[in-house]
Amino acid sequence: MKRKVALVLCFFMAVCFAFAGGGKETSGGAADVQYPRGDISIIIPNSAGGGNDLTVRALIPALERALGVSVVPINQPAGKGGVAFSDVANAKPDGSKLYFNSKTALLMKFNGIEEAKIEKLTPIAQVADDVAIFQVRSDSPWKTMNDVINHLKTSKEKLKTGNTGLGGTWHLPQIKLNQAIGLDNMRYASYPAGSPPLLTALVAGEVDFITCGPECKSFVDSGKVRPLCVVFPTRYPSFPDVPTLKEATGLDFDYPVWRGFFTTAGTDPKIVEILSQAIQKAVQSEEFQKYAAVGMLASYKGTAEFSQIVSKEQKELEVLMPEVLAQIQAENAGGK
């Protein structure tokens, strides 16, 4: 009889221990949350080989070590990235699906992807700062950014300008430049397939002035492209000899371009915190630091700070984008 009582007590204690979180231990002071319970998917709204894809894959080894499960990247470029956004936005809020994107995530709803409302996602952490770089061909007569601005102010012909999509990430710095100098003397050509075709078009003479990110480095190193300035508060580590916009012209505006993780809105904040801490370890890992050193600025920001950044930029875009979209409509209608 005593033996049976003892067995019952042992069973009861084991059950209590399990319900109290005595299963898999989690980090970050959230031992009462059993997470993760299985493999984690990272949904990437781009094809394999792009900036977002390569960044995620550089983070995965350290993420798997920190979380103790497999982390699987899934590329979903369909619907201009809208399919990927919806996949995570409509997922069960248990942290099993993550979404990775750049500032583009905030622009999608303004560019016809109505379901891409950032409120449907919860920011987790930022991992990097990209930079907008104004560039010309290496044989261009414009040696400085002021040369370009003077041309914009004096030329009777519009400057042939390239970006990766009207209303997109690399178009907006051009819009902000026009606002800063008080005119718009640009004729835009878009290369939605990404920066490599945009840079190739610049070298080929299809356009004379472009904006894109650090992916231009191989073109710069080979002497095909001349970077004029970075639209960044300080000089960018991958281009230490390239002045900031303020240094080059006196114009004082920035254009931050972050890359970061989100998950489904309504996910337990304790799960979000566990993910944020795991991402921090991944950003600090040797693998990611080596990857970032080639052309990207590794820059971890936790959930609270990243959420503030996303919220602030969203409010700014609510003011800026109606004007941009009106301009695009006018150009498409032949109004300019």
Local confidence band at 333 (pLDDT 50, 70, 90 cut-offs): low
Measure CA of the first residue to CA of the last residue in the chain; give whole Å.
Answer: 94
pLDDT digits (tens, 9 = 90+) for 5-44: 444 444 444 444 444 433 344 444 455 789 999 999 999 9
138 and 60 assigned to the same domain? no
120 and 268 assigned to the same domain? yes
Q: CA 50 to CA 280: how far, in whole Å?
A: 22
142 and 213 assigned to the same domain? yes
Number of domains in the chain: 2
pLDDT digits (tens, 9 = 90+) for 241-281: 999 999 999 999 888 899 999 999 999 999 999 999 999 99
Residues 6+ apart with CB under 8 A from 71: 39, 40, 41, 42, 60, 63, 64
Q: Is the pLDDT of residue 306 over 50?
A: yes
* Token pair in block for residue 8: 């019952």
Is residue 192 situated within a structural domain? yes
125 and 271 assigned to the same domain? yes
CA dist 167 to 125, 173, 175, Å? 25, 10, 9
The parent domain of residue 53 ranges over: 31-130+257-318
pLDDT digits (tens, 9 = 90+) for 62-102: 999 999 999 999 999 988 889 999 999 999 999 999 999 99
Q: Is the pLDDT of residue 55 over 60?
A: yes
Local confidence band at 192 (pLDDT 50, 70, 90 cut-offs): confident
150 and 69 assigned to the same domain? no
170 and 140 assigned to the same domain? yes
For 95: left if phi > 0, alpha if psi spans -120 to 50, otherwise beta; the answer is left
36 and 59 assigned to the same domain? yes
Q: Is the pLDDT of residue 167 over 60?
A: yes
pLDDT at 273: 98
pLDDT at 87: 97
* Token pair in block for residue 302: 């936790």
CATH code, domain carrying 148: 3.40.190.10
Is residue 7 situated within a structural domain? no
Last residue of a domain, one of 188, 214, 231: 231
Q: What is the pTM of this model?
A: 0.81
pLDDT at 334: 62
Q: Is the pLDDT of residue 239 over 80?
A: yes
126 and 144 assigned to the same domain? no
pLDDT at 325: 87
Mean pLDDT of 203-209: 97
Q: CA 331 to CA 329: how far, in whole Å?
A: 5
50 and 68 assigned to the same domain? yes
CATH code, domain carrying 73: 3.40.190.150
Angle (CA) 157 160 166, round 5°: 120
pLDDT digits (tens, 9 = 90+) for 99-150: 999 999 999 999 889 889 999 999 999 999 989 999 999 999 999 999 999 9
Is residue 333 situated within a structural domain? no
pLDDT at 326: 82
174 and 219 assigned to the same domain? yes
